[in-house]
Chains A and B, each alone.
Chain A
Amino acid sequence: MIAPELIEVVKPGLSTTVQDAGRTGYYHLGIPPSGALDQYSLRAANLLVGNPAGAAVLEAVYMGPELAFAADAVVAVTGAAMVPKVNGAEQPIWESFPVSAGDVLSFAYLTAGARAYIAVSGGIDVPEVLGSRSTYALGALGGFSGRPLAAGDRLPVGAAPPASPGRSVPADLRPNLAKDVEVRVVMGLYDHRLTAAGRATFLDTTWDLTPVADRIGFRYAGPELETVPREPPFGAGQDPSNIVDAPYPIGSIQVPGSVEPIILHRDAVSGGGYMMIATVLSGDLDVVAQSAPKTRTRFVEVDLDGALAARADHRKRTRRLAEALAG
């Protein structure tokens, strides 16, 4: 049976949003892609419950929600290590499990990573906005009423494909959630604003993720980066880190005031007036997504060929995941 509103939010968690693979084609009007920050975990959660890989799921950051089910479903939780519980009984992560009508799904404390992905067979069936069900909260757009979930919300769930509980992602296809991470970047954009010393500082520092780490951007603490002195171009602004407001790539790293680099993620502001000095590889944005505050981060430079090779590896792994969970 299909229940039109199968899930009731008892407790919303810290910030839980509906997310899918994201939307394309509106970034030139300031509407970013949004979607699951960790796209690999999104795919895994969906495939575990028999959904299309890009179906809408719940993304819960740091703290899981409490959800009451009004009908039977198959559920899977991936991403951060946040153990799910059905009526208080622990369930495995990276594995699908059954939930019956009347059950309550809750979560233990986060022990590693930052964002858990909760897939339900049939997918979260909020209306598509601009081709996606993803929430873009800054623009009050998409997802559930354009905002994070609140207690009392009732979530619609789509018609469920035949799904079997007990499917599992093989250990070698689960990400390693570490407190020390390496994030690969292509240097460029406005990196010529840095001196050789400033550039070396960026690449040689182990940066600490600050608590300012949300769907828009992740800010890192560390030393100031030295810039090349200049006469400001017309329209740029006086600070050495200012540029004439320019478009920001998803994953680009900007350094306002030459301190505390910020990685823009999938709810990015689409442009602005701060120098960007590098861009995180698209696949490594999943690593950033699973970084909690205090995560020690090194930026590792690769060139475009290196970025494309990493992309090919990432796709290979995604294909293996699909094969492992097929049928």
Chain B
Amino acid sequence: MTATTGVAPARYSWGGDEFVFVELAEEMSLQANYRAMAITKKLSEARPDGVLEICPANASYQVRFDPDVLEPAELLALLQDLERQVGDAHELALPTRVLEIPVLYRDPWTTETLMRFRDRHQDPDATDIEYAARINGYPSVDDFIAAHSGSPWFTSMVGFVAGLPFKFQMVPRERQIVVPKYLRPRTDTPKQTVGYGGCFSCIYSVRGAGGYQMFGITPAPIYDPSQTLPDFTDFMVLFRPADIVKFTPIDRERYDELLAEVEGGTFHVKARPVEFHLQSFLDDPDGYNARLLEVLK
């Protein structure tokens, strides 16, 4: 069936008796992610009885539903209708936020961790960030850090574990950083590690196993199940799908200052409301990004 013009029709598949999975595109793009955001936003607003979970993801989304309340065929028709309404979503203005995340790149903790797992890595003689810089054609790690922190990132999905954001680089594809995951996953990753796998950057919300390359660490808490820190009074997870993130490199001295603020209960992530418009971004990515990030000044 053709539900929209200009974009390939989505692929719908049942996940047992309680889930429907919808793939908008096989490959990752901001356009596909934006359609997932737009469709799931409309569905959240309509929230028909029987819809239990609405999970936007990178180039797909899923809905958990109660088929005793909402007939699967009825839900499918509704989702296909939303797909038609949303179309390519290029003109949709999405209210979201810009957040600034300070990053200590090449920090001692991820460095210590990555050294313990060199036998699972593509390049045992280099660090993760040296490897990533090299295979992406950057002359130095500093140049690589400048690229990683130079343009904003779009939170294309929150998940894997509680509160972990996947971030997609807001630059044309030919400039996107791509790094394979570890050959075999590590059994340990420090909390708040800034990682990279495929075309996604992420921030590990909890300590644990992981397969993404480790570039640095942020002092900013992103998950607080006890909800004692100031950024978490409303909810225990910092990131929401569609949040736009600017990574800001910091040195060790600044890291220690910010960590002291976190421990003193006074730290806040700088967050500002913005409205994102996909077509304006696609027309002039660098100019649009520069305007977006002005709210942080």
Contact = CB atoms under 8 A, between A and B. Distances in A.
Interface of A: 24-25, 27-31, 129, 136, 138-141, 146, 185-186, 188-189, 233-238, 242, 244-247, 249-252, 269-273, 276, 279-282, 304, 307-308, 310-311, 315
Given A30-B159, A234-B29, A271-B157, A245 B200 contact: yes
Contact of B164 (A30, A146, A235, A282): A30
A297 to B, nearest CB: 16
Given A30-B164, A139-B161, A271-B160, A246 B54 contact: no
B236 interface: yes
B14 interface: yes
From DSSP, what is the main secondary structure of chain A's interface residues?
mixed
Given A138-B208, A141-B225, A188-B21, 12 more contacts: A24-B52, A29-B237, A31-B162, A136-B162, A237-B197, A244-B60, A245-B198, A246-B23, A247-B62, A271-B159, A272-B160, A304-B72
A282 B225 contact: no
B285 interface: no
Interface residues of B, number: 57
B57 interface: yes
7 contacts: A30-B161, A186-B15, A188-B21, A244-B58, A247-B159, A250-B18, A269-B160
A188 B14 contact: yes
Interface string B36-65: 000010000000000011111111111010
B206 interface: yes
Contact of B206 (A138, A244, A280): A138
A281 B173 contact: no
Contact of A140 (B52, B61, B206): B206
Contacts of B197: 237, 273
Given A311-B67, A315-B68, A233 B26 contact: yes
Interface in B158-177: 158-164, 166, 173
Nearest to B223: A139
A216 to B, nearest CB: 10
B19 interface: yes
B72 A308 contact: yes
Contacts of A310: 17
Contacts of A311: 17, 67-68
A273 B64 contact: no
Given A247-B60, A304-B72, A186 B52 contact: no
A234 B199 contact: yes
A282 B16 CA distance: 7
B53 A246 contact: no
Contacts, number: 180
A272 B56 CA distance: 13
B241 interface: yes
Given A24-B53, A308-B67, A269 B27 contact: no
Contacts of A238: 180
A325 to B, nearest CB: 22
Contact of A28 (B21, B53, B161, B206): B53
A30 B62 contact: no
A245 B159 CA distance: 10
A129 B205 contact: no
Contacts of A27: 53, 55, 64, 159
Contact of A188 (B15, B67, B162): B15
A244 B159 contact: no
Nearest to A306: B17
Given A30-B161, A244-B26, A249 B16 contact: yes
Interface string B209-225: 00000000000000101
A249 B160 contact: no
Given A235-B199, A280-B16, A282-B18, A25 B53 contact: yes
A291 to B, nearest CB: 17
Contact of A233 (B16, B27, B160): B27
Contacts of B200: 235, 245
B20 to A, nearest CB: 9
